[in-house]
Structure 1
């Protein structure tokens, strides 16, 4: 009976417009393995992806375990390997970002419209505590989204109303194995310490369900605040070639929270970043720019020009950014055009701008154009669609960043 209830709650966590096929991100842990078995009831084609981070000797064996299970179930399975960590910064954050990027590229290559993730109510509570410790506001403490877009891909979290313990009970009852990741007990990681803190708080009646309820209420507040930012954007913002101009007078007439929210969203929209800037850095930057100073934040330049606060991509932030033709550049640009063997996409830069005789006819400031995407072959410019040298090529922003309003509505 419990298994039937769990299955029904899993289905309730999925959107009504479920696509005709679904990708599943499965690591081999209890949460994602439960998702794999529960998803079988959907009666739609499934395809599973496992990311081998290569950070532990057992990682390859764990990926092979998932592959074996999927083979027995008759579900297609792929393994992606990540070797991108340079030993700097937050390991788990770097691995998470890499995982999203790799999975998004995989899903798009296989025509998978949505990928399901195995996050549970416990993950939501742990994230709440981690962000609370960092001083996050309404956005950071809001509930995880069950349906969202990132890296040009749709993501689903169908198990946010389910507890990890009941998923494990379900697997045990079905004699289904899973993998225990030893890093889950490594107190060097913030999430592990928060998991342990939750056990202590539970004795005080503050459990994962409490945090989930609070997060949902904060998400309601966030939605209202986001609505105010969207209204301000509609009245005050114009966009061109991926940059944003905000009418300074209208910006300053809004509540301080709305000013900061809109500026943060514009920075994330222009930079292609997955996360918005830290609050203190954002507040200090906005204050300086309003006072007439030019500032850099999140790989963007902010400046005043003719009564407008202009936010544009900083060339130095994308100077070394390149990718093969057909892939997403700088987290937001897609270029398409004629066949060009060995061509790649990189920023236009000074050298490229010099090869665009008609760039002034575009009406775009040269500072904007320097950081726009261009098609290169070796060191030779093939095309610069935004700088008046299309040569059969087109540049467009991803759907989720097709406009600042679209970005605000989807984030």
Structure 2
């Protein structure tokens, strides 16, 4: 078993060179996150605050959160319970809960002023995820180890224990005299992760352990990074942005490696749609075929128009026709507007109604369908500004991130 000194040294290697002022810790009450909490406390070179997310899906969850609260109180660590109340009972509950968890933790972290939020994922989680993705016929992206650091919902999340086993963490807790909560859902084989965990026990007889799978996943992570760099360099050569659309040089795209083509399209669609996920592989292949035939196609809330000279990927109006935001907020997940707003002003897609109030919209030099899906400012039924259509110079609109930079974060 790995000693406590070695575990703490791992934290010191990660954070000791410039200790953060305040670290957030997500603690469920299970062994992995409780071990992370105590290790950070034992490390002692940064202040800590903790949070427990109560998804409201099990009656025991409230008491488990209270248990974590008592542990934190004994350690003099501030603790908050974050409650999820937005689930309507439909969809994939685990996926919805995961999304909600990150959202709640991100908002909590910002409010608390933490440098980042730490998560207790271990090498066992990497191995289980590998098996789950393998069953779904995933490629390099799906099989690669989860990132040790990621930005979600405007907050940095760290996973400092990805190369540590759950057994080592439980040994540490036993030595420390800390009891953890066993979530009964961890024994429910209706969940894929539980099936993967059970399968790992049998695969170990063949030498396929969590250590082995974790090592393979780490290598695939490096290969994924190399592919990402190649796509970035390709995009830098053959793409540019125009009014929030991605324009691709058709000829140079056609001679690129098919895998790089796929990744470049995925990145463009994900950026234009401000989406968390890329589209399905089969659907993307249909888009690739449409591009070869110079046909127009919609996918992922985007409009893909292929011509002889270039390929344009823009937002589809039907995906944003009802999207609204205050002028000070992001619209459609990526647009920032600035101008002399008044109370009650609203940002929404320009649409046919807006174009109807702009007799000179063609002077902007942009395709009609791109302008229809572009951000505009309204005061009731009156168009106040349409920056991309060059209407009202007092207002401007820009994307919060660039397409090319987004390729480095996916």
What TM-score results when the alignment is normalised by the length of structure 2? Answer: 0.89
Q: Which residue of 2 aligns with 1:190?
A: 192
The answer to whether 1:404 aligns with 2:403 is yes
Q: Which residue of 1 aligns with 2:92?
A: 90
The answer to whether 1:367 aligns with 2:361 is no
Q: Which residue of 2 aligns with 1:77?
A: 79
Q: Secondary structure at the match of 1:246?
A: strand
- The 5 Å alignment of 1:59-208 reads 59-208=61-210
How far residue 87 of structure 1 moved from its aligned partner, in angstroms, is 3.1
2: distance between equivalents of 1:337 and 1:18? 40
2: distance between equivalents of 1:391 and 1:296? 32
Maintained 8 Å contact 2:19/2:46: no
The answer to whether 1:31 aligns with 2:19 is no
> Mean alpha-carbon deviation: is it higher for 245-254 or for 337-346?
337-346
- Structure 2 vs 1, CA of residues 65 and 345 (structure 1 numbering), >3 Å: closer, same or farther? farther
How far residue 239 of structure 1 moved from its aligned partner, in angstroms, is 0.7
How far residue 121 of structure 1 moved from its aligned partner, in angstroms, is 0.6
How far residue 263 of structure 1 moved from its aligned partner, in angstroms, is 0.8
How far residue 391 of structure 1 moved from its aligned partner, in angstroms, is 7.9
- Structure 2 vs 1, CA of residues 311 and 339 (structure 1 numbering), >3 Å: closer, same or farther? closer
- Structure 2 vs 1, CA of residues 360 and 267 (structure 1 numbering), >3 Å: closer, same or farther? same
Q: Secondary structure at the match of 2:240?
A: strand
How far residue 171 of structure 1 moved from its aligned partner, in angstroms, is 1.6
Q: Which residue of 2 aligns with 1:301?
A: 303
1: distance between equivalents of 2:109 and 2:382? 32
Q: Which residue of 2 aligns with 1:274?
A: 276
Q: Which residue of 2 aligns with 1:22?
A: 23
Maintained 8 Å contact 1:236/1:246: yes
Query: C-alpha offsets along residues 175-230 of structure 1, whole Å, 9 cap, x if unaligned?
Result: 22322211111111111111111111112211111011111211222222222211
Q: Unmatched 5+ residue regions in structure 1?
A: none
Query: C-alpha offsets along residues 37-65 of structure 1, whole Å, 9 cap, x if unaligned?
Result: 22222522333233222222222333333
The size of the alignment, in residue pairs, is: 408
2: distance between equivalents of 1:57 and 1:343? 44
Maintained 8 Å contact 1:14/1:156: no
Maintained 8 Å contact 1:9/1:161: no
Q: Secondary structure at the match of 1:203?
A: helix
> Mean alpha-carbon deviation: is it higher for 224-233 or for 3-12?
3-12
Q: Which residue of 2 aligns with 1:7?
A: 8
Maintained 8 Å contact 2:250/2:307: no
Query: C-alpha offsets along residues 290-331 of structure 1, whole Å, 9 cap, x if unaligned?
Result: 212211221111111452111112222233444566554433
Match 2:254 to one of 240, 249, 252: 252
Report the aligned-residue RMSD. Answer: 2.8
Query: C-alpha offsets along residues 72-94 of structure 1, whole Å, 9 cap, x if unaligned?
Result: 33333333322333333322112
Q: Secondary structure at the match of 1:266?
A: helix
Q: Which residue of 1 aligns with 2:230?
A: 228
- Structure 2 vs 1, CA of residues 179 and 378 (structure 1 numbering), >3 Å: closer, same or farther? farther
Q: Secondary structure at the match of 1:292?
A: coil
